[in-house]
Structures are given as structure tokens and as C-alpha cells.
Amino acid sequence: MPRRPPAVVLAPDSFKGSLSAAAAAAALAEGLRRVWPDADLRLCPMADGGEGTLDAVLSRGGRRSTDRVSDVSGKPLTVAYGSIGEPATAVLEVAQVVGLTDPAVATIDVEHRTTLGVGELMRHRLDAGVRRFMIGLGGSSTNDGGAGLLAALGLSLTDARGQAIAPPPAGLATLAAVDASGLDPRLADAEIIVMSDVNNPLTGDRGATAIFGPQKGASRERIAEIDRRIANFASLAERALNRRAQDEPGAGAAGGLGFALQLIGGKMRSGAEVVADLVGLDAALDGAGWAITGEGRSDAQTALGKTPLIVALRAAAQQIPVSLISGSIDRSALPALGRYFAGCFSLPSGPAKLEQCLAQAAELLADRAEQVARLFDIARR
């Protein structure tokens, strides 16, 4: 006897290189509708604070706006941000301003990329009366210790002769003094939630430059020197604000934006946890019979705290089984993933090249969701 279809929560992360989280959720829904045309499907596109965070958050409501700020090289750039709730919380995505996947960024040396525009975006929101921020740090191309952001918010950075230094991080080479007296006083009333899944400190062997510098283009020979300059800036800034932050977990996130934002009172949180709250994942799970999450590629890192794991933990708290459908799954991670997921499935329907899978991702995801739902349906009869 067929039972009523379960209510299903569809909470994928984006599939990097092929599908936004919203497109992935829609593809899952399409596949499930082939099996259960009238099922209660609850689409909760997810993100981890990186690229796609703004889209995921706004998929559940709020308003998307644009602003003009400086790009990594100081040129004007139009960026999107979100406003949710009342009084408004600004949802900012660092990747919108200084994103690593922006092709223009590749032409600028990492030592000349600044986070000035991120600070401008915050300042403009303060001007508009906003006092609550949710800032996603993932996917940044910068490694300036957050000096650009703090400069945009009024921190004064000067050289030995009292002259303002060149835009960081290159200018940090001659940094001699930091003065916080001009720091935007409205920040004292602001609540700043920082979304990140990076726990590294600002400097040293596990710091931003050593660990993330190379993938942003820092050459091996320059790492020690860049790290030294950032350490000098951080110590001066900490003294000026009479607060410590460089050894806090996550200070090394987004090339030191994690440090700068914590220095002005920001609280670090797991990006996926914040997004889960913003999209109302717990409410969506309430009364559901099954959840499906996924991402472009799942491996051992997934089981250590990536977005699908957050979905799995939230679902487990309500005793709801969660399955994982990802573009590909590292087989060696299956035992670890098996602790959290009731079935891990991948997209290819046979031997296939990566480009093929990326190009067909939506169709493959709908197909896989359909097949998984068929099995789920028959098993519960």
C-alpha cells in the first residue's frame, strides 16, 4: 500500500563550477516530483559563508541591493549585498568585492590586493543606519590582514614620517604607527557576525599567508616577508584598539579579514550554521521525513564540518534521515560520511569526464534524486 510521500527538505550547498545552491535544490525537486508529484518539498539552498552565500540567504526572503565600492586594486566596482529583517541586517559576501574567481583579480599581484572595498561597503551600510552585519568571508583573493577594511573604517596607518602609507598590503612594508582615534564610532553599536569555516590564526606556520597565500598567488619566497608585515600591522592595530585578536581561531580567514573583523568586535561563526539559521533550516526540518543535501565534491573534509555536515547534524537533532548527493564522492571518505548520511550518491551515470558531468549537472542531479526517491519510496511500503 503506497504511503503518503514524506515531506522532504532539499538543502544542498552549491555545486562549484556548475550549479548554484538554488539551482541544485531545484534540480533535486524536479527529480523528486517525478516520483511524488504532490510531495511537500522544502527548498533550503545552503552556503558556507563563501561565494553563493548571498544568493542562498536571499532565496528565503530579504532584498538584494547594489553599492559602488573599490575593487581589489582600488577601481570602482558595483557589488551586491542583501538586507534581511527589520531593523535591517546587512548580509555581505566578501567574495562579491574581492572574490578569487573574479577573472580581473588574477591580473593584480596578491601583494597589491586590498580589502578597502569591503570596509567601504560596511561604512555605507552604517551610513544607512544599519547596525547588524552578517559577513561571509569565503572565497577572498586578498591577504592584507584586513588592513584595507580597517583603513576604510577610519583606522589611520602611517609611516615613520607620519605620512599615510600606500594601500595595504604593499604599504604595510613602511607601516610605523596605527591610530584608532578616527575609527568609525558607530562600530561600537554594531553587531558583526562573521561567517567562516576557517580556524587558522592570523600569522605563523598555520597563518593566513603560509596556508592560503600560495593559492592566492603569493610566491614561496615572499611568504615570510608578507607574514612579518602583517604581524607588525596586527600588533600595532591591537595596541591602538587595546584588544587582541590575531591568535583567535579564524583570525587567518580571508587573508586576515577574520582578524580585522574580530578586532572591531565581530564574532566568528560557522558559515553554514549561520546560513542554516538564516534560511530557516530547523523550521523546514520540522515534521519532515527525509532530507537531501549535497555539494560539488564530498571528501573527508565534508565530515569535518562542511555544509552537508551541518545539514546532517541539524536533521539528526530532529531524528530525520539525510542522504547526500554530490557531484563526486571520495570513496575513502565513505566510512566517515556513513556516520552522518543515510546513503551517499554521486552524479555520473557511467564513466564520464569532469566537463561532461559539470555540463549536465542539473539533469544528472534530477535523475539521481529521482532514483534515490524511487528506492526510498519502495523501501517504506
Residue 220 has a CB neighbour count (10 Å cut-off) of 8
Applying CB under 8 A, the site for a second copy has a residue count of 41
CB of 304 to a second copy, least distance (A): 19
Q: Residue 72: which of 96, 49, 47 has the closest Cα?
A: 96
In the chain the first and final C-alpha atoms are separated, in Å, by 6
Nearer to a second copy, 282 or 377 (CB): 377
Contact status: 134 vs a second copy (CB under 8 A):
no
Out of 230, 344, 365, 369, name the contact with a second copy by CB under 8 A.
344
Contact status: 351 vs a second copy (CB under 8 A):
yes
Q: Residue 94: which of 76, 112, 120, 73 has the closest Cα?
A: 120
CB of 290 to a second copy, least distance (A): 8
Nearer to a second copy, 305 or 321 (CB): 321
Out of 36, 135, 341, 361, name the contact with a second copy by CB under 8 A.
341
Does residue 381 sit in helix, strand or coil?
coil
> Vertex 273, ends 269 and 277: CA angle to 5°?
115
CB of 126 to a second copy, least distance (A): 45
Contact status: 1 vs a second copy (CB under 8 A):
no
Residue 109 has a CB neighbour count (10 Å cut-off) of 14
Contact status: 17 vs a second copy (CB under 8 A):
no
Please check whether residue 21 is in contact with residue 45, taking contact to mean a CB–CB distance below 8 angstroms.
Answer: yes
Out of 255, 290, 311, 314, name the contact with a second copy by CB under 8 A.
290
Out of 357, 361, 365, 369, name the contact with a second copy by CB under 8 A.
357
Query: HSE-up of 24 (CA within 13 Å, CB side)?
Result: 31
Paired sense of beta strands 41-43 and 8-10, if any: parallel
The footprint of a second copy (CB under 8 A) covers: 290, 297, 321, 323, 327-331, 334, 338, 341-354, 356-357, 363-364, 367, 370-372, 374-381
